[in-house]
Homo-oligomer: A and B are copies of this chain.
Amino acid sequence: MRRRNAIKLAAGAFIGGGACVTAMTTAFKTEAQAATPPKKIDFKESKTVWQYHKLNPKKVAKIAYEGYDVGSCMFGVFESIMAELGEQYGEPYASFPSQMMKYGHSGVGGSGTICGTLNGAGAIIGLFVEDKKIQDALMGELFYWYENTEFPIYKPAKPVMDFTPPTSVAHSILCHASTTLWGKASGFRIKSKERKERCRCLTADVAKKTAVLLNKYINNEFVANEHDNETVRGCMTCHGEEGKLGNTAGKMTCTSCHTPSAAHKVFGDAHYKFMDKK
């Protein structure tokens, strides 16, 4: 935010001085980073005892929905896959201390950071996939889906309550933003049992998607970078690790927290057209 204010001030200065505008727009006329092309990822068997086996995503979703009441979101996603592997294959899955994952509730200890469902999915991916780049690719696909999908989608056969949650798009992988936007879309309070049912169904959705991705991966069918986050790519052209401003890192959709400043209008290039969306 302080950075943003600094840029705003700078933009004000540009607008006040024509020569400066010309110099700066030239200096910043960077080609937007190209999208990373989709790439088939080859399955690499884990060298540990922790092997993933193909699971039925619908069954996993059901276990996750039911598991939410035992340990909420992170636990629900993690345990859905671990419990099903334990059921089918016994050890070492059966004795994994999944209860530890309860800590991730409400964005880690209630703090509102990463949605617990995604933290649970990350932990499962971290356990079964050794290669860091492949881990990141699987999480990247999942997180993109989370940011852009209207959920919850899951319809329980035996719902905990007689309520079908309205849907919303989270535009963010943070619990704080995801729940706030749902509250705004639905009119329900964060503390309500209706919001909990929304998160219960979302736990099932993320567990299902995680199983689908891992099934694809071990089946040699996972394609990384299928989706391009144009917003992040555009911002990171200048603000990312290799950009001219080079001052930040991350893959979260920038515009969930940051509003493009006046500076970007000065640059007014087609590359920055996404800046006008909000």
Docked-complex contact B242 and A113, CB < 8 angstroms: no
Residue in B102, B132, B180, B242 whose CB lies within 8 Å of A135: B102
Docked-complex contact B109 and A140, CB < 8 angstroms: yes
Docked-complex contact B249 and A103, CB < 8 angstroms: no
| Residues from chain B with Cβ under 8 Å of A242 in the complex | 191
A residues 70-109 touching B (CB-CB < 8 Å): 97, 99-109
Interface size on A, as a range, is 35 or more
| Residues from chain B with Cβ under 8 Å of A102 in the complex | 126, 132, 135
A250 and B111 in contact, given A1-B256, A97-B50, A135-B102 (Cβ under 8 angstroms): yes
Whole-angstrom CA separation of A101 from B103 in the bound complex: 14
Query: CB-defined interface of A222-256 with B at 8 Å, one 1/0 digit per residue?
Result: 00000000000000000001100011111110011
Q: Nearest-CB distance from A30 to chain B (Å)?
A: 16
Whole-angstrom CA separation of A257 from B241 in the bound complex: 21
A251 and B112 in contact, given A101-B126, A103-B123 (Cβ under 8 angstroms): yes
| Residues from chain B with Cβ under 8 Å of A135 in the complex | 102-103, 109
Query: Is A155 close to B, CB under 8 A?
Result: no
Q: Nearest-CB distance from A131 to chain B (Å)?
A: 10
A–B Cβ pairs within 8 angstroms, 20 of them: A1-B256, A1-B257, A1-B259, A3-B180, A100-B123, A100-B126, A103-B122, A103-B123, A105-B132, A106-B249, A108-B114, A109-B143, A111-B143, A175-B249, A176-B248, A176-B250, A190-B246, A190-B248, A191-B242, A191-B249
Report which A residues bind B (CB closer than 8 A).
1-3, 48, 50, 97, 99-114, 118-119, 122-123, 125-127, 130, 132, 135-136, 139-140, 143, 173-176, 179-180, 183-184, 189-191, 241-242, 246-252, 255-259
Known: A109-B143, A113-B114, A191-B241. 17 other contacts (CB 8 A): A1-B255, A1-B259, A48-B99, A100-B126, A103-B122, A107-B250, A108-B139, A109-B122, A110-B136, A111-B139, A111-B140, A111-B173, A111-B252, A183-B247, A189-B246, A190-B246, A257-B257
